[in-house]
Amino acid sequence: MKKRRRRSLPMEEKMKKTRKGRTRLLCALLCAALLLFSGCTRSYYGGIAEREDGDAAAYTEDILPESQDNAYGSKVTATLYYRYMAEDLLAAVEQEFTVTAEKTLEEMAIQALIDGPKDTQYEYNALISSETEIVSVKEQSGYLSVTLSSEFLDEMVQDIDGEATRRRLAVQAIVNTVTGIGNYSRVLILVDETGSGNGERLTYAEAGWEEYGDRTIEPMARDTSVILTPENALEIVLRSLVEKDYDHMEYFLADRDYDGTACPTRAELTDILSAKASIVSYSLEGPATVSPDGQRAVALVDIAYVGSNGQMTELTGLPIRLIREDVWKVSFQSLDTMFPGY
């Protein structure tokens, strides 16, 4: 049987095939490059990128983490900060949010601060007028820019000093809440006073720092000094002891100690502490040591007190236990042992 001879292609056809192959290869390389550079490279949730499609109304687009598998409807927890009672301090509250395509976690958390604490959280106070609206939330160069409506500046406290404190805590509540999510280290708050959609920077005086006058505020970092930490809770209790303000101190005493021992009633508390020596000074030895589960802490305290004989006694390194209930509170039993012989 004769072998079939391959038909030789004309030179022109060969060149056509070669050009087609090169064209396909070039298209494939271009597609790969487009896929590589058009995708979002950041992997965290809550980041915000400017839209490039010209849709001014949709000023942000959501970026979800790989850990969430881009699954909308999943649950994410954030720590919100509200004012605790009448203290000039912020208390942390955990709240769960549902991931959506429309809003970032930062925007949902800020809206929760505006809505205020839940009805059951009676010891927490809202710091922002519920009429306030979020105008925009945008990522800038290294920080998050938050523009709020003019209602943010509405007075909520009648006396001037109280209103300044309220505004300062409101700004710090937003900053600490946003930075606590972990995507941004600084936050700039703007206010749209004209309704134009464009915000202007607050002055320090408008934001509650009247001592800094009309300078405009810069992007602000997290400030833990205003958070109700174990150290701040203990500071309130020790100051109340010095001032013999037992009614105030009671709010920061744990209902029960580590072993389940109950705290005395208010009347018992007053009788017990009134019989003690008078503390004249105190100081904390560094930060408290918090247990791995975050529910207990121990702080070391130095105190000086005057006994019934009029002599001053100094004690150092006294351990004080704290228990996290809704907030950090001091164990009365460990407080009671600070006074040997009483």
Q: Name the pairing type of β-strands 186-192 and 144-149.
A: parallel
Contacts of 80 (CB under 8 A, 6+ apart): 92, 93, 94, 95, 109, 112, 113, 173, 177
Alpha-carbon gap, residue 188 to 298, rounded angstroms: 36
- How much is the pLDDT for 340? 67
Strand partners, 96: 77
- Residue 340 tokens read as 């040997």
Per-residue model confidence as pLDDT tens digits over 312-325: 989 999 999 999 99
Per-residue model confidence as pLDDT tens digits over 109-148: 999 999 999 877 889 999 999 999 999 999 988 899 999 9
Helix (H, G, I), strand (E, B) or coil at 264: coil
Alpha-carbon gap, residue 163 to 168, rounded angstroms: 9
Q: Dump strand ranges (E) for 243-291.
A: 278-284, 289-290
Which of 231, 143, 232 minimizes the C-alpha distance to 179? Answer: 143
- How much is the pLDDT for 158? 67
When comparing pLDDT for 93 and 2, which is higher?
93
pLDDT at residue 189 greater than cutoff 80: yes
- Residue 152 tokens read as 């943010």
Alpha-carbon gap, residue 47 to 137, rounded angstroms: 10
Contact between 42 and 63 under an 8 Å Cβ cutoff? The reply is: yes
pLDDT at residue 2 greater than cutoff 70: no
Per-residue model confidence as pLDDT tens digits over 57-78: 333 333 333 333 445 678 999 9
- How much is the pLDDT for 289? 97
Alpha-carbon gap, residue 340 to 106, rounded angstroms: 50
- How much is the pLDDT for 270? 87
Q: Name the pairing type of β-strands 296-306 and 289-290.
A: antiparallel
- How much is the pLDDT for 174? 98
In percent, the amount of the chain with pLDDT more than 90 equals 58
